[in-house]
Amino acid sequence: MMRLALVACTILATPACRSEAKPQPSAIVWRPMASWSGRGSSQTDTFTSDTGGFRVKWETRNENPAGTGVFELTLHSAISGRLVAPVVEQRGIGHDVAYVYEGPHVFYFVVSSANLHWTFAGKEGVTARMTTPPGK
């Protein structure tokens, strides 16, 4: 009886007999935070980021007088006020998407702008595990 238990334990302990979990692939999902718009300089309210990864979609328009528009967007620490990262430096009319990767923290954005209208929307990058449909 003891031999049977020992053989069963040995068989169960071998890697070939165990089913190992396969790691699930993951992807970055962009969760909406907030959007802001205005003319001239401004500062956003503070916000907490669990990941510190941001995608910022921005646009400038209605430059008046032509050739004088400025839009600069920076990310700051809400704890110390220090500049964490420049996000956008734009002269005149334009649009694009900017990415910033920092650690989890409490932040705020600062807009330094003149002679144009601006808008930007922030999304935070979070990791999502992809699941495999049953039967595959």
Locate the domains of the chain by residue range: 35-129
Asked if pLDDT for residue 132 goes beyond 80, the answer is: no
Task: Identify the residue with better confidence: 20 or 11.
Answer: 20
Asked if pLDDT for residue 3 goes beyond 50, the answer is: no
Asked if pLDDT for residue 9 goes beyond 50, the answer is: no
Quote the pLDDT of residue 135. 63
8: confidence class by pLDDT, cuts 50, 70, 90: very low
Please determine, looking at this structure, whether the domain spanning 35-129 carries the CATH number 1.10.260: no
pLDDT tens digits, 47-93: 999 999 999 999 999 999 999 999 999 999 999 999 999 999 999 99
Task: Please provide the average confidence, as pLDDT, over all residues in the chain.
Answer: 86
DSSP-assigned states of every residue in the chain: -HHHHHHHHHHHHSGGGS-PPPPPPEEEEEEEEEEEEEES-EEPPPEEESS-EEEEEEEEE--SSTT--EEEEEEEETTT--EEEEEEEEESSEEEEEEEE--SEEEEEEEEEESSEEEEEEEEEEEEE--PPTT-
